[in-house]
Amino acid sequence: MKIVYASRTGNCESIINRLGIDNLMIQTGEETVKEDVILLTYTDGYGLVPTEVEEFVEKNKKYIKGVIGSGDTSFGEAYCGAAVTISEQLNIPLIMKIENTGTDEDIENLKKKLEEIK
């Protein structure tokens, strides 16, 4: 399944590169899909969904089947807050939270989880 992602600092892009999976980068929020996808997102501010991700989700919500968050645990309860919010709003699985770019073990675990979704 394709992963659609947004990356401001490069953490999400690094995860995508390490996964080696079909992907689409959200740049403006105007992007559209016509197939089921998994969303990978960073979190803005203190737990907020980035504007371009919010716009993408609004246009494509029926195709988003799960969400992955990349974040920094130093934000406490707001850690991967955007992914948590999207998961709750769309009633879709929160597949995984990953600290920044993730460890090799995180990436292997994520690959396994994505295989289960196919």
Q: For residue 98, report the phi and psi dihedrals to the nearest 5 degrees.
A: -125, 130
Reply yes or no on whether the pLDDT at 118 is more than 80.
Answer: no
Domain-by-domain residue ranges, the chain?
2-117
pLDDT tens profile 17-27: 999 999 999 99
pTM recorded for the entire structure? 0.95
- Beta strand extents in the chain (DSSP E only): 2-5, 23-25, 37-41, 64-71, 94-99
Name the superfamily (CATH) of residues 2-117: Flavodoxin domain (3.40.50.360)
